Structure 1
Amino acid sequence: MQVRFDHKTEVAPGIVSLFFEPLEPYRHIAGQFVEINLQHAHPDSRGIRRWFTLSSAPEEPLLSITTRYTGKNNSSFKRSFANLHKDTVLSFSPPEGDFTLPRDRHTKLIFVAGGIGVTPIHSMVNHLLLTGEQRDVRLIYGVNTLQDAIFMEVFDEYQADVELVVANPDKDWQGATGFITADTVLAATQSSNDYLVYLSGPEPMIEKLYKELTAAGVSGKRIKTDYFPGYVNV
């Protein structure tokens, strides 16, 4: 499917949302991802294709991709993606993935996000907000600094129960510090016998939490994972 680049917005230092207009009917489920084909000059060994989560909700008129830029180590793809000209036409694959909401609206949702891994969670929560659908939502969100916490206005408007865990806090920060632990996630499961845990973030973080949660007795059937390759820290 073809899309036309519309505009971009910096949502936090080094984090940018890019917005695209679909040029044909396009449906996706909140939380899914797409593959983008970006032809550009002098591609490096990492190629011209990338997988990205759609950070937009299905109800929004424009599709959005939200990504972090790490500086000089960005790939040729990322550099070209950051410098798209308005009205540039790109190819998106059909949406894929089952990191999506359960059918049962009574299931408690425990979202665990590390850094840019919050993007599919934003898609799902904004979908709930725009449709007026009420669910029990808990978000445990790990960031490097408080300034890295994005989409908070959507989570606040939905009145989600949010716990920020800040690795490098300002001196005035009074909330949780360090990194998300399995104990923090386990504590969130205690109030319900019907829950799903959604783990989304850097691959090392997700692998560690999944291993620790299942070792603590959480069934793998109650855990959904979404890995963000190429990221090591939040």
Structure 2
Amino acid sequence: MAFNVLIKPSDHSFIMEADETILEAGLRHGFILPYSCRDGVCGTCKGLLLQGTVDYGKYEDSILSEADKAEGMALFCCAKPTSDLIIECREVNAAKDIPVKTLPCRVHKLERLDDVMVLYLKLPANERLQFLAGQYIDILMKGGKARSFSLANAPHDDEFLQLHVRNISGGEFTKHVFMQMKERDILRFKGPLGSFFLREDSSKPVVFVASGTGFAPIKSIIEHALYVGVKRSMHFYWGAHKLSGLYMLDKAREWETHGIKFTPVLSEALPADEWQGRTGFVHEAVLEDYPDLFGYQVYACGAPVVVEAAHRDFTTLRGLPNEEFFSDAFTPAPKA
């Protein structure tokens, strides 16, 4: 059975199934309600039922009291509808609406893909990290140092936080990841951080440009867009030196079956790659394909030289408005 939910004061509405929680359904439809633990123990998702009835689900009595319920409060991460609903809560519309936390996590799995290590990090049982697709976290190291990595998983797929770490010669954290890190190790991080996320209030077609592990936040954004049903035209360009640098090529190919146009570009393809695709610099492939970018949004991520060249050439040569260029440049940490 399906029910209608109306959110006040935004007047956003969505249809949900009886076996979904309000939070799950809202996220599925692209309406980001506040949450943290997703397990009824923190109270972050508490909101007001203005009309309708729910099954309150399983929660901690100290978080939702009988007095709270008498006042119409519910925990949206636990509550499931038994009728149409009108609820009142704030929605997360920008990075500033999400609290930045410092949390521990455990290394659940290490997956090596050529010179990239994919880290899967598990949070404590009663914690979840709310973030916008495309944001990053800072891994906190001894001595107060921090290393920034984009979250490669989409917000709805948050059982594990996924990071893509490239093996950079001389990198202190990189060396630790590839030589010493093992499953069940404990890390601490701060996040979410950054303003690199899809502006969902726009209807403009999107061009994504990534070099190397700049793929990570683009992956998060595209998987989020597919999950919530964003209908905008999207074209993803991914550049690398050689074929192995496109370390999740099958994933990008899979998106093509869902309507995401994909153009891989290699700048130094090896004979063994037997590469028949586009060659050169990734942002130049965009210039070749798009004589006019005035009506577009561009999201670029990766090496600073790539991001800077894309911004310069797209705005000066192709008419892209400066305010429609969003970027996240990966600057290597000092080796010292």
TM-score > 0.5, shorter chain as reference: yes
Of 189-198 and 168-177, deviating more is: 189-198
CA distance in 2 between partners of 1:102 and 1:210 (Å) = 18
1:4 aligns with 2:106: yes
Which residue is 1:79 aligned to? 175
2:261 pairs, out of 157, 161, 170, with 161
Contact 2:137 2:193 in 1 (8 A): yes
Q: Secondary structure at the match of 1:95?
A: strand
Structure 1 counterpart of 2:308, which letter?
E
Shift of 1:118: 1.2
Of 154-163 and 111-120, deviating more is: 154-163
Contact 1:142 1:165 in 2 (8 A): yes
Q: Deviation string for 1:34-81 (max 9, x for gaps)?
A: 111133xxx7xxx731111111111221001101103xx332222223
Of 99-108 and 134-143, deviating more is: 99-108
Q: Deviation string for 1:109-135 (max 9, x for gaps)?
A: 100111111111011112233445443
Shift of 1:187: 5.0
Shift of 1:199: 1.3
CA distance in 1 between partners of 2:293 and 2:145 (Å) = 44
CA distance in 2 between partners of 1:230 and 1:187 (Å) = 29
Q: Secondary structure at the match of 2:309?
A: helix
Contact 1:110 1:188 in 2 (8 A): no
Contact 1:125 1:154 in 2 (8 A): no
Shift of 1:87: 1.9
Which residue is 1:26 aligned to? 129
* Unmatched 5+ stretches in structure 1: none
Which residue is 2:16 aligned to? none
Structure 2 counterpart of 1:97, which letter?
G
2:166 pairs, out of 40, 53, 68, with 68
Q: Deviation string for 1:69-104 (max 9, x for gaps)?
A: 03xx33222222332232222111120112111113
Matches within 5 A, 1:37-76: 37-39=140-142, 48-60=145-157, 61-70=159-168, 73-76=169-172
Contact 2:110 2:183 in 1 (8 A): no
Change (3 A) 1:102 1:130: same
Which residue is 1:119 aligned to? 216
CA distance in 2 between partners of 1:180 and 1:75 (Å) = 25
Shift of 1:200: 0.9
Which residue is 1:200 aligned to? 301
Which residue is 1:14 aligned to? 115
Change (3 A) 1:100 1:162: same
TM-score (norm 1): 0.85
Q: Secondary structure at the match of 1:28?
A: coil
2:310 pairs, out of 209, 212, 222, with 209
CA distance in 2 between partners of 1:188 and 1:147 (Å) = 24
Q: Secondary structure at the match of 1:123?
A: helix
1:225 aligns with 2:225: no
Shift of 1:186: 3.8
Q: Secondary structure at the match of 2:263?
A: strand
Which residue is 1:99 aligned to? 196
Change (3 A) 1:163 1:143: same
Change (3 A) 1:78 1:157: same
Change (3 A) 1:125 1:151: farther
Q: Deviation string for 1:178-234 (max 9, x for gaps)?
A: 21244x324555587642111111112211221222222321111111101129xxx
1:141 aligns with 2:242: no
Structure 1 counterpart of 2:112, which letter?
E
TM-score (norm 2): 0.60
CA distance in 1 between partners of 2:175 and 2:295 (Å) = 43
Identity %, equivalent residues: 25
